[in-house]
Amino acid sequence: MDKKSGMINLRDIAVCRDDRKILSITSQIPQHGITAIIGPNGSGKTTLLKLLHGLIKADSGSYIPGAENLGSALVLHHTPLIKASVRANLALVKDSQYGPSISDEDIDKALASVGLAHLSNQSAIKLSAGERQRLSLARAKCQKPKMILLDEPTANLDPSTTEQVEAIIRQMADDGCGVIFTSHHLGQVQALANQIIFLNEGECLEASCTEDFFKHPQTEPAKKFIARELGWK
């Protein structure tokens, strides 16, 4: 991290698959607050999250901090669950690299923070989609990350459950954890995010505060994306 600015600096990043460049980016992403990565399908949003977390490596370029220093937790779609209690599923983090620093009290606090303490002994596979997502967030919180990376955290959730998940995300940010999330719901992005990273065809075309992006988009692809998604004329 750039200690002066608190930014993740991506420099000439290129990620290729089957001789096709799927991500080509030079940009800065704040390591504080809530940042939304948005753009059309196939624009490289999930690829960027995986890169930041260290699940994939760039074919060229660099970013600072690297995955080993970012201290991130990644929550993707369909986090697998085992046939055991909610608490047992959360306790799996104790078998990870974070295990030595995670106490039973941490697990109980994490469950309570996402509103699942009353379901601690219930079978995890009986949880609703929203409860599963909250369990995934609790698991991420147990890792005590500096940054949490969320891929479409409220996809396929009903409005009430979406509000619950959004409240947890806000609380994480208020507690000092940086949040980077992807979303197709621009109303949600406007309500949650402090900053926007706009990707199009694998490139970062805009990086700005949320208000500036929606009021004064600088590129034609961004203008068209906003108009299509929000129904502007």
pLDDT tens readout for residues 160-219: 999 999 999 999 999 999 999 999 999 999 999 999 999 999 999 999 999 999 999 999
147-176 pLDDT, tens digit per residue, is: 999 999 999 899 999 999 999 999 999 999
Two tokens at 45?
Answer: 């949003």
Q: Is the pLDDT assigned to residue 233 strictly greater than 70?
A: no
The 8 Å CB, 24+ separation contacts for 65-71 are 65/1, 65/8, 69/1, 70/1, 70/8, 70/31, 70/146, 70/147, 71/145, 71/146, 71/147
Two tokens at 38?
Answer: 């948005």
Two tokens at 99?
Answer: 């295990």
Where does the pLDDT of residue 1 fall: very low under 50, low under 70, confident under 90, or very high at 90 and above?
very low
Is CATH 3.40.50.300 correct for 1-71+145-233?
Answer: yes
List strand residue ranges (DSSP E) for the chain, in order.
Answer: 7-17, 20-30, 34-38, 60-64, 72-75, 147-151, 178-182, 195-200, 203-209
Residue whose pair of structure tokens reads 């986090």 in the numeric block: 79
Strand, coil or helix: 149:
strand
pLDDT of res. 103: 84
Q: Where are the domains of the chain?
A: 1-71+145-233, 80-144
38-97 pLDDT, tens digit per residue, is: 999 889 999 999 999 988 999 999 888 766 667 889 998 777 888 999 999 988 887 666
